[in-house]
Structure 1
Amino acid sequence: MTATATTRLDAPARLPGRLVGSIAFGTLLQALNSSMIAVALVGIRGDFRAGAEVSWLISALYLATAVGAPTMGRLADLVGPRRVFLTGLALVAVASVAAPFAPNVGVLVACRVLLGLGTAAQYPAGVAMVRTVAERTGARASGALGILSICSQTAVAFGPSLGGLLVGAFGWPAIFLVNLPFVAVAAVTVLRWGPAGRTSPHRLGVAASLRRLDPPGLLLFAGAMTTLMLLLLSLADHPRWWLAAVFVPLAGLLLWRELRCAEPFLDVRLLGRNRALTGTYLRTALTYVAFYAIFYGLPSWLEQGRGLDAAQAGLVVLPIAGLGVFMTVLATRLVRTRGPRAPLLIGSLGLLAGGVVLATVVHSATPVLVLLAVSAVLGIPNGFNNMGNQTAMYAAAPADATGAASGLYRTSQYVGANLAAALIEVLAAGTDPDSGLHRLGIAVAVVGAVLLAGSLLGRRRT
């Protein structure tokens, strides 16, 4: 199965740019909505005279996406990816129109949940459409996967800047309304160029597919994942360890149910057999622990430890995302000739080097030019790791379960993001900003070393 997928990745033909562009336009929504909210929280808190509950506007989107991505991916496998892609866009449109009229923070959080479910559909359904067309035409998928990765990194990098302009000019409702033109363009182009209809005899109508979705398994997965995410989110402030006592039995029931279900929502038997796919999820989660530790931790230190204002800190960390985009282009070319392992080795080495630099070079008196250079170094591994992990997931996933596999890939990213948030708080507690940053650098270096050892070990086994 892996050899076949690798052959498709190396195929000479390219996927149509109009198809890839339309899918990429939809996948921008998730990254934009997860990053723009950061600059709107102050305004929302003031308008609603709210307090700490405003932070749920961030957490709600992460929770909804972590649960919704594999659900939407599984539906894409059953009813067709284009239909699910468009359904997700419709949910985004409804949430974006309703949010500006929310009477209180609770309703606004509900809109963010709906927004998270909608944006959760585009990536797994989009990758499934890429695979559908690639297998029909014999085209390679590496270029399309690279474009999706570039769009995601670009949206994360410029989301706060775009959000700041919108909030400054029109107020916080603008970060919701700006979704509507993206939704319109993505919907029109996917309707025009996306693969239509059911592409597999195994795909059924909506009603039959919902029955085959394994509702008990879905509910157990949602309960277990929500509990896990809430536990991880609580680690940064006041750990709620009692959630672990809820998560463990839910996870056990999920495992028991899915092992006995003829068509499980979460195919744990496949994960047990397919070590390459399971390993990719674990590696992705660990990679995102390091990525978000840098992406969240460094700007905080720049303001608290280096004394920069928010705008200056944003400019200093811009090379992280900017260079990541450039490195994704290089990684895409490398994947075509060497497969995913080569970029993963480079990305792991980059994380190791970046962590060492943070732990030993950076301090409160470091000149801004040096900090810009450090940001550039930290941006090198992003493109290689993202492209390597994404390609490894695509290559290891069964063709008829690409949507579900891509959804779980998204979930693993959010697990890593929440672990990173907890790690930052733990390492920064009770110490000065420089010491906290150096501890964070050591943690990133350790993650890089573990990922490097895993990549080298995997190479020897092959």
Structure 2
Amino acid sequence: MSVRAASRTSFDRRLIAPMVLGSTLNPVNSSIIAVSLVPIGHALGASPSRTAWLVSSLYLATAIGQPVVGRLIDVLGPRRLYLIGTAMVGVAGLIGLLAQDLWVLVAARVVLGFGTCAGYPAAMSLIRSEARRTGEDSPAGILTLLAIANQTVAVIGPTIGGLLIAVGGWRSTFAVNIPLSLVCLWLGSRRLPLRTPPADDADRPPRVDYAGVALFSSALVSLLFFLMEPQTGLLPLLVVTAVAAAGFAAVESRVAAPFIDVRLLRGNLPLVATYVRGLLTMTVSYTFIFGVTQWMQEGRGLDPSTVGLVIMPMFGTAIAISALTGRRPEIRGKLIVGAAVQVAACAVVLALDDSIPIWVLLALTLLLGVPQGLLGLGNQNAVYHQADPARTASSAGLLRTFMYLGAIVASAATGGFLHDGATETGLHHLGLFILGVSTLMLLCTVLDRSLARVGRPATTALS
């Protein structure tokens, strides 16, 4: 049965496998590296502040690439970009498998970052096009499935990484991308439609706003270099960031086909607020995944495979929470509860020490599964309802950009607070940092009254 032969009234289930697998390539590579940082550092003689570039490089590439690829998907359709991106993932896996130097590994992560840019925007574009085709305005079941898959692999990534390291060493965390790429290429070539129902402005010729991309990239790169090594001598980088950001805003307000449509964002403040919540959410989540897991290995003395198993309760809780709440249209309640529990979990981090029983760590990861399940789902669904339908893929890509800006901040914070090793003191400083960020996330959610209207009325597309 071909994609064209799918039912006119229900979501084409043949699309689910390539959608889900492609969209999870980025989160699995985001978190699988967490338990690899210490073994890579030992093998290549690199400090935590240097191995942190393995994290930041992927997020920098993804933050830049997501809106570009998302906009191209809006105009050209998801199939072509999906296949190119997933092929790049396989190339990155091969580079990582053969690399003998830390900076070659960083290059592999950059290729990986750009390669994984297409999966999530392509999935959101397919959901929107299927909604247009079937007449289902809010395919809650499919959105929930996508959220669960992405949350699951992000949480289970360290567990997978620990098992892979135990079997094949840290290089296997790169090599795993080779078979994943091949499966995505096979599924994408067989199941993704050659054409999708057009969006409102799909007849516009595709353009790349090179000036916008250059200014946006300059702002991000200069900010990242400062955050990774914050010191007085690098303060001019902040000036570069400010000038590039101002130039970016000016250019994007004038070009016909902007890289990021700041005019549209100015007229859609609820969507901007959702992007900010995505940034804050991921700052907390990835600080835990990168920072606390490093402390579990160096401070608490657990091996990578054990750390992976300690993370498992977060995985189970996140799935259960998302599955139980996914079909409910309310978004504000999900975000408030998730943000409040996240504050409580960050407070627990302040009580950790080198003699803490493992059952306490298990209880902490169990607690963290609640915001993991609620916040990712809530932010994703908010973007789906708040975004211009003609820019679904690029809006979804921009959400990922803000999420990865949060991950960059988390990586920089981890490198900064654990600069001299994952000590108990460094962990507590990291805990104070994420407690402040999670409190700000809670305030941003409680004060946003527009969330009460998001997602109503809702229908389901997976029945």
Is the counterpart of residue 29 in structure 1 residue 29 in structure 2? no
Partner of 1:264: 258
Deviation at 1:197, TM superposition (A): 1.5
Q: 2:400 aligns with which of 397, 410, 414?
A: 410
**Residue correspondences, number:** 441
Deviation at 1:406, TM superposition (A): 1.1
CA contact (8 A) 2:283 2:409 kept: yes
Contact 1:324 1:382 in 2 (8 A): yes
Distance 1:402 1:166 in 2: 36
Of residues 267, 285, 292, the one that matches 1:273 is 267
Does the 8 Å CA contact 2:280/2:437 hold for their aligned counterparts? yes
Aligned with residue 119 of structure 2, among 118, 122, 129: 122
Secondary structure of the structure 1 residue equivalent to 2:447? helix
Does residue 1:378 correspond to 2:373, yes or no?
A: no
Deviation readout 1:155-196 (Å, 9 max, x if unpaired): 233333433444454455543332233223223333333333
Q: Which has the higher contact order (CA 8 A, sep 6+)?
A: 2
CA deviation string 1:288-335 (max 9, x = no partner): 12222322333234345544444433333332233222222123133x
Structural RMSD (CA)? 3.2
- The DSSP-based 3-state class of the residue aligned with 1:160 is helix
Q: Equivalent residue for 1:213?
A: 208
Partner Cα separation in structure 2 for residue 50 and residue 357 of structure 1: 30
Q: Return 283-292 or 37-46, whichever deviates more.
A: 37-46
Query: Are 2:348 and 1:349 aligned?
Result: no
TM-score (norm: length of structure 1): 0.84
What are the within-5 Å matches in structure 2 for residues 143-162 of structure 1?
Answer: 143-162=141-160
Pairing 1:243–2:237 present: yes
**Deviation of residue 117 (structure 1)?**
0.6
Matches of 2:164 and 2:146, distance apart in 1: 25
- Partner of 2:161 in structure 1? 163
Cα distance in 1 for residues equivalent to 2:35 and 2:236 = 33
Alignment of 1:36-185 (within 5 A): 36-40=32-36, 55-102=52-99, 104-139=101-136, 140-185=138-183
- Rounded to whole Å, the distance in 2 between the matches of 1:425 and 1:44 is 15
1:190 alignment counterpart = 188
Listed as ranges, the gaps of 5+ residues in structure 2 are: 1-8, 453-463
Structure 1: distance between partners of 2:353 and 2:40: 34
The Cα shift of 1:262 comes to 1.8
**Amino acid paired to 1:74:** R
1:456 deviates by 2.6
Shift of 1:154: 2.5
Deviates more, 1:217-226 or 1:299-308: 299-308
Aligned counterpart, 2:391: 401
Matches within 5 A, 1:8-19: 15-19=11-15
Find the counterpart in structure 2 of residue 5 from structure 1.
Answer: none
Instruction: Assess, with a 3 A threshold, how the Cα gap between structure 1 residues 132 and 234 changes in structure 2: closer, same or farther.
Output: farther
Q: Residue 273 of structure 1: CA displacement?
A: 0.6
Aligned in 2, Cα 1:316/1:174: closer, same or farther, shift over 3 Å?
Answer: closer
Query: Contact 1:80/1:199 (CA < 8 Å) preserved in 2?
Result: no
2-structure distance, mates of 1:41, 1:143: 36
Gaps of 5+ in 1: 1-12
Q: TM-score, normalised by structure 2?
A: 0.84
Q: Distance between the aligned counterparts of 1:308 and 1:53, measured in 2? A: 22
Percent identity, aligned pairs only, is: 37
Task: Give the match for residue 197 of structure 2.
Answer: 199
**Residue identity in the other structure for 1:197:** R
Q: Secondary structure at the match of 2:258?
A: coil
1:238/1:55 CA distance change after superposition, 3 Å: farther
Q: Is the 8 A contact 1:85 1:126 kept in 2?
A: no
The answer as to whether partners of 2:28 and 2:153 remain within 8 angstroms in 1 is yes
Aligned counterparts of 2:65 and 2:291: Cα–Cα separation in 1: 27
Q: For 2:222, give the aligned amino acid.
A: T
Separation (CA, whole Å) in 2 of partners of 1:60 and 1:387: 26
Structure 2 CA distance for aligned equivalents of residues 348 and 322 of structure 1: 19
Residue 327 (structure 2) aligns with: 333
Change (3 A) 1:103 1:351: closer
Contact 2:52 2:415 in 1 (8 A): no
**Matched residue, 1:9:** none
- Match of 1:162, SS? helix
How far apart are the structure 2 equivalents of 1:41 and 1:432?
A: 12
Post-superposition offset of 1:256: 1.1
Sort the Cα spacing of 1:262 and 1:106 in 2 relative to 1 into closer, same or farther, 3 A: same
Deviation of the 1:440 alpha carbon: 4.2
Post-superposition CA distance 1:28-51 (Å, at most 9, x none): 221232333445556766777777
* Aligned-residue offset at 1:402: 1.1
Question: Does the 8 Å contact 1:355/1:441 carry over to 2?
Answer: yes
| Separation in structure 2 between the aligned mates of residue 308 and residue 54 of structure 1, nearest angstrom | 19
CA separation of 1:419 and 1:81: change in aligned 2, threshold 3 A: same
Aligned residues of 2:162 and 2:304 also touching (Cα < 8 A): no
Deviation at 1:250, TM superposition (A): 0.9
Corresponding position: 1:447 with 2:443: no
How far 1:25 moved relative to its partner?
A: 0.8
- State the Cα distance separating 1:242 from its structure 2 match: 2.2
Q: Which amino acid aligns with 1:221?
A: F
In the alignment, the residues of structure 2 paired with residue 170 and residue 294 of structure 1 have an alpha-carbon distance, to the nearest angstrom, of 25
How far is 1:386 from its partner? 0.6
CA–CA distance in structure 1, aligned partners of residues 149 and 140 of structure 2: 14
Pick the aligned partner of 1:297 from 291, 296, 313.
291
Distance 1:303 1:267 in 2: 43
Distance 2:396 2:345 in 1: 28
Q: Could you tell me which amino acid in structure 2 is paired with residue 277 of structure 1?
A: L
Q: Is the 2:286–2:407 Cα contact (8 Å) retained in structure 1?
A: yes
